[in-house]
Structure 1
């Protein structure tokens, strides 16, 4: 009461220095009882996560990895202290995004065990954030580890979990989960299920809001869709549709998308092998691999080229082009 009367008296004389001091004291008293706002560091880290989502842009994967892990560790002090619930949710969401993208880079580099560990961290953070679509995205991206490294049944299980988590709304995570499931079914020789999942993925893609169609790791654009379709149709032996998707994906891929363009070329080589021209298939794959910087000639790219080599019957392994592919892949 005394402070209120003093404030009234000070304001009666106008916005004098004592009045302004009394106003500041009144605001400070209340402000100190309110929950703290979001720390500035959080906005900076959210912006960093968005930036990393645009992929490699011609940078070596190891360089992107170093930046991601450095920024990810900056989240720890913010997560270690009590925060208002909305701020805590934002912190966990950013942690889930960064951990998931770190796992993607590790997957591309061939570090499967480390990739799975980071996906587990991403899933925990996404779960605590309450963002169900982020959780579905993490599961769908994690499914690509066993998908690309020889365990399609495990990939199908994770993709099915992602589809359930994403629900039926047309979201980036829902389309990704469906198309990854299709690829896993195709590798499992479950062609009927694969084509059903591809139909579902196309239907979701047709309804996907523009806000989720940008070309980032966290969203799902047309280029990414055709990259997945290329591999799915190649695996199914539907080389006509595979080539259509390869052509469209290449049209939409930036010149700096080194890894993506190489994977599409290897898919095209696999189509050539399926259609009976194994020599051309090997030469295309060798040309694509030898044109790559050394930092990119590992992990996923090497695995996809090795899949092509292993698909060639043993009686052809003595042929020059096939031996050249083997030497490049194993060298």
Structure 2
């Protein structure tokens, strides 16, 4: 029975109603679930796993599988439903693992941060397939995510910032020119991501991050160490963002968490707030707007006295997105107004914006705010009122992105957003026109996030307006131009 992945405990077992509920809603057959478990196990290197329909039936009957199967099932159902489905939600027992290794509750200390970043990036580079970095990697949500992140606000203990004593061997002391080049390379990676999506440069970013952690493991003067931690934080955030963009959600979250730790070591609160906003965006994507709001409020509280107006405007826009997905129109509209008013002050405070927030221009502001109105429309039962509020703001975003060659992924996402607004207004012909334009851009952008949203929008059109010729045409074109074969790199 070694290949079954079960613990052999059958005495007194009862049907697993929780697992059965998720299984029925998934629409999978027992054979399909078995095939997916086996495929995922092979990706993890767990070649001893050999599941079949009878084994799935035993799980549903109450048999407890051994690791890594519970975590594999958690991953599969999370991906299927677009939300976090924990091992416990499936009525299964999670393996007891050290939080510092398996979770997001990591020690807030420089040496441990460097060690974890080095280990994680090395594992990512070595596996280089679907982002599975071991059976311990799962998504955190709720208090298990929020409570550790709150420690970002706790002041670090006073440290001796004097240069360390000379080591036994002479380390590689970075020159200012070398540090400048590292930082400019990070900015270049960020530009490539915006132009081409996360699928083309992700491994290069992870490799650069690993190189920076190597430098951090050598004795460095305090000022150089701070710049290296800031560079590591930016690269880890970008690696997380690219992982999120190609659908590797647990990998993305782990990079975001490590990025926040590195930002704290750098003493860069605005950068930390930006990383928390990326985590918030991921939580909205995963259907966890309450968690998203908690993360944004942490970001706002931690950086309110030091972030530029542009950064604060971005945080207000993300706050609006969270409120929209919670179905709170009053608070959403207030946050939208705050984003607009604060953005009007961008550049007037005399403080230069860091490169990582440069993306948040007028087009991005309009895009975020229009998506908030669009999300409110869905929450309010496909409300035409909120759809009408979204339309002119979304159109403004689309017009601005159309002449912005640097942000092609955002252009595609807003074209898809405009298509969803037209569907809400029951205008399928206009919706499919925008979807067709988005499909053209998607062909130039390697982003599973764009592809998934485009497919979902067309699926909605088929369900609601399947008889409209434009819908039939785009369905055939989508199958031809965008087959579901995307793989993360």
TM class by shorter chain equals 0.7 to 0.9
Deviation at 1:243, TM superposition (A): 3.2
CA contact (8 A) 1:172 1:213 kept: no
User: 1:305 maps to what in 2?
Assistant: 454
CA contact (8 A) 1:110 1:300 kept: yes
Question: In 1, Cα distance between the equivalents of 2:212 and 2:223?
Answer: 15
Question: In 1, Cα distance between the equivalents of 2:441 and 2:270?
Answer: 38
Q: 1:138 aligns with which of 258, 270, 275?
A: 275
User: 1:39 maps to what in 2?
Assistant: 174
Bigger drift between 88-97 and 168-177 goes to: 168-177
The structure with the greater share of residues assigned to helix is: 1
User: 1:243 maps to what in 2?
Assistant: 391
Deviation at 1:236, TM superposition (A): 2.9
Paired residue total: 298
Deviation at 1:326, TM superposition (A): 6.2
Question: In 2, Cα distance between the equivalents of 1:324 and 1:48?
Answer: 43
User: Structure 2 matches for 1:38-77, cutoff 5 A?
Assistant: 39-40=174-175, 41-56=178-193, 58-59=195-196, 61-77=198-214
Deviation at 1:301, TM superposition (A): 1.1
How big is each residue's C-alpha offset from its partner over 1:4-53, in whole Å with a ceiling of 9 and x where there is no partner? xxxxxxxxxxxxxxxxxxxxxxxxxxxxx999996123232122123333
RMSD: 3.2
- Change over 3 Å in CA distance of 1:324–1:120 after alignment to 2: farther
Question: In 2, Cα distance between the equivalents of 1:54 and 1:92?
Answer: 21
CA contact (8 A) 2:280 2:295 kept: yes
Q: 1:221 aligns with which of 352, 361, 375?
A: 361
User: Structure 2 matches for 1:1-331, cutoff 5 A?
Assistant: 39-40=174-175, 41-56=178-193, 58-59=195-196, 61-167=198-304, 170-209=308-347, 217-219=356-358, 220-237=360-377, 238-253=386-401, 254-289=404-439, 292-293=442-443, 296=446, 298-308=447-457, 314=463, 316=465, 322=471, 328=478, 331=484
Q: Which runs of 5+ in 2 are unaligned?
A: 1-164, 378-385, 485-489
* Higher Rg: 1
TM score, norm. by length of structure 1: 0.77
User: 2:118 maps to what in 1?
Assistant: none
Q: Which runs of 5+ in 1 are unaligned?
A: 1-32
Question: In 2, Cα distance between the equivalents of 1:60 and 1:157?
Answer: 28
Deviation at 1:157, TM superposition (A): 2.1
TM score, norm. by length of structure 2: 0.54
